Amino acid sequence: MEYLWAFLAGGALCAVGQLLIDFTGLTPARILVTYVVSGVFLGAVGLYEPFAGLAGAGASVPLTGFGYNLAKGVREAVTRDGLIGALTGGLEACAGGITAAVLFGLIAAVIFNRGDKTAKIIG
């Protein structure tokens, strides 16, 4: 059942993103920022944690989950370390995910062929 909830929640977040692309003038970059800020806001008002508990990876993998994780890390670090936690908490909370993204991107760049991918017109 948890796979179904993850699929439905992640799919709904993706569908909203696609609707924003199709029916608004928002650029993909602005939509990404909106998702991260939405995760921070929903986490701040206490709505994202119950959603993440229900949806699992469907809520933690998308960018809203990244924003929620940043805010949660800052909140915990400020409680533990004071004001300096506002600067370090987000990095501590998301370091694993950011490191994995950079590492897997590097591995993909090393393994796969680089070069011009544009089609050459024969004529």
- What is the model's pTM? 0.75
- Full residue range of the structural domain in which residue 39 is found: 2-111
**Does residue 69 belong to any structural domain of this protein?**
yes
Q: How confident is the model at residue 34 (pLDDT cuts 50, 70, 90)?
A: very high
**Does residue 62 belong to any structural domain of this protein?**
yes
**Distance in angstroms (rounded) separating the CA atoms of residues 72 and 90:** 8
**Does residue 117 belong to any structural domain of this protein?**
no
Read off the pLDDT of each residue in 40-51 and give the average, rounded to a whole number. Answer: 92
Q: How confident is the model at residue 116 (pLDDT cuts 50, 70, 90)?
A: low
pLDDT at 62 over 90: no
Domain count, the chain: 1
**Does residue 20 belong to any structural domain of this protein?**
yes
**Does residue 64 belong to any structural domain of this protein?**
yes
The token pair at 20 is 């924003």
Residue type, 22: D
The owner of tokens 């544009």 is 118
